[in-house]
Amino acid sequence: MARAAISIILGLVMMVWFLPGLNAQAQQTAAAKAPSQPAPTHDLSGVWNTVGFLGNAWTKEPAPMTPWAAAIFKNVKSSNAGTYTLDETNDPVITNCFPPGVPRIYMQPFPFQIVQTPSEVIFLYEYDHTVRHVALDQPVPTDPDPTYMGTSVGHWEDATTLDVETVGFNEKTWLDRVGTPHSDQLHVSEKLHRVDKDNMDITVSMSDPKALTKPWGNTVHYRLHPDWKIMEQVCPDNVSFTNFETPDKKK
């Protein structure tokens, strides 16, 4: 029942395209203080969901955009910023159902599952069946094919922290929901730290010499949900966001 109730809430949020919760910081603080068992070693597996909403941008300060990025940003029509309607927006996630890219995927208020093998860590996002493969102990590729989600490699910094580097992006996604652009030179660093058994922090840092004057990012807080399973969420079929009582919506 708890999973279904939260799904209903997330579906309603999705209908207004992810308006951020006003009490996100309070929720994050409460979760950080919640008692838990020690974190298992070299293990991030499980279903995770954000503690509160990150918001529409990575920080309250304006993105440190270069003149190149600022010129592109002038033509952005974000419905999440409250200026444009869904009919007017040019958000690639809304208008084309494009993958949100990295790191914007963390701003989608849906859970994701981490699955591990000896050679890779796999992210299974509930949002639009998006999948990421993070190859372990491999060098950062120097000339990868450009994709929406990029090419990711990772290594264990210590027993509870996984460092991930992602490169090889196309320029069809936004860094956030207000429309901050990036180039194909974007490099995203993620530090996934399992604080304890039930809590994880993901610190994101973006660098892009063509679009950003300095690195930019923030930390997102996550809570483990061992009783959850990833559900089906399909971008083109928006009507499904309000239909949570169908037989396929099982725990």
Q: What is the pLDDT of residues 187-242, one digit of tens each?
A: 999 999 999 999 999 999 999 999 999 999 999 999 999 999 999 888 877 544 43
Provide the whole-model pTM: 0.82
- Is residue 206 included in any domain, yes or no? yes
- Is residue 251 included in any domain, yes or no? no
Number of domains forming the structure of the chain:
1
Range of the domain at 91: 2-36+44-231
- Is residue 90 included in any domain, yes or no? yes
Instruction: Collect all residues with Cβ–Cβ distance below 8 Å to 225 and sequence separation of at least 6.
Output: 3, 46, 47, 48, 49, 111
Which two structure tokens, joined as six digits, stand for 56?
């529409």
Cα 31 from chain centre = 19
- Is residue 242 included in any domain, yes or no? no
Which two structure tokens, joined as six digits, stand for 233?
């969420």
Q: What is the pLDDT of residues 22-71, one digit of tens each?
A: 344 444 445 555 668 999 999 999 999 999 767 899 999 999 999 999 99
* Cα–Cα dist 49/108, whole Å: 10
- Is residue 250 included in any domain, yes or no? no
**Ramachandran sector of residue 103 (left: φ over 0; alpha: ψ -120 to 50; beta: rest):** alpha
3-state secondary structure of 122: strand
- Is residue 240 included in any domain, yes or no? no
CB 241 within 8 A of CB 11: yes
- Is residue 249 included in any domain, yes or no? no
How many other CB atoms sit within 10 Å of the CB of residue 210? 14
Q: What is the DSSP letter of 241?
A: G
- Is residue 73 included in any domain, yes or no? yes
Q: What is the pLDDT of residues 148-189, one digit of tens each?
A: 999 999 999 999 999 999 999 999 999 999 999 999 999 999
* Cα–Cα dist 53/18, whole Å: 8
CB 173 within 8 A of CB 146: no
